[in-house]
Amino acid sequence: MGDASSGDWVQEKVTVDAAYGNEKVPMYLFVPKRSSPPYQAVIYFPGSPSIDQMSSKDLDSYREFESHVSFIVKNGRAVLYPVYKGTFERRDDAIAAIYAGANSRQYTKYIIQVVQDFNRCVDYLETRPDIDRKRLAYVSFSWGSRIAPIVLAVNDRLRASVMMVGGFRAWEHVRPEADEINYVTRVKVPTLMLNGRYDTIYPLETTVKPMFEMLGTPAEQKRLKVYDTDHFVPQNELIKESLAWLDRYLGPVR
């Protein structure tokens, strides 16, 4: 049963089997009211604050949804917001201690499970007749943008990617199989990177530009736009640039 109380979307909560253990992957699908099916769809990957949240209840009131996701649905695209392992009600203190990276098999296993969660989301969208399976995109913020090279390199079902304030890690080393730098050259999807010039979490010269330059995406299909900010993108620019990129590579909304 969906929640249609919003004037802009119908919110559906779906749960699917995880690809590991006996776990479940809850996810929220926001279906736009102002466009027609089959809908283009975006799968969102959040920043690290979701690691500390206790529940995904009232997700559409969560600050990150309001600033980074809602405008996409209002524009007429469906958005799938998964509860990835280690986030919201799936949080775990052991995961919270290592999610940013650790030179351990535990961290490597966790990254594999997160990518499996994402792939299950794509699987689910492909079962829905109201979703255009040929027009799927990845949109991410911070943590989600940092691990984007791994997600994108192992998935060939996406048509576009928008990465907000991400870059290579500038801190702890990880095992090679969980290191984004070993995947980035295999990314081929058209990618827009939006970053802050004065970001201290992902410094421009040492973490952002190297990721952009190493992306395997053809030069004419990738773009880095830098703002005079720290770890955020001005909202008007985020909306303008993200929607223009999605329009370019997914096509205009019906």
Domain hosting 221: range is: 2-250
Q: What angle do CA 36, 39, 40 make, to 5 degrees?
A: 140
Could you tell me the sign of the dihedral formed by the alpha carbons of 199, 179, 136, 188, in that order? positive
Going by C-alpha positions, the residue among 127, 191, 112, 197 that lies closest to residue 158 is: 191
d(CA 246, CA 254): 13
Please report, in tens digits, the pLDDT of each residue of the chain (254 residues total). Answer: 577 678 899 999 999 999 999 999 999 999 999 999 999 999 999 999 999 999 999 999 999 999 999 999 999 999 999 999 999 999 999 999 998 888 899 999 999 999 999 999 999 999 999 999 999 999 999 999 999 999 999 999 999 999 999 999 887 789 999 999 999 999 999 999 999 999 999 999 999 999 999 999 999 999 999 999 999 999 999 999 999 999 999 999 98
Token readout for 36 is 């027609």
Identify whether the C-beta of residue 152 lies closer than 8 Å to the C-beta of residue 189. yes
Domain count, the chain: 1
Tell me the three-class secondary structure of 13-45, residue by residue.
EEEEECCCCCCEEEEEEEEECCCCCCEEEEEEE
In the chain, the amino acid numbered 185 is T
> Which CATH number do you get for residue 180?
3.40.50.1820
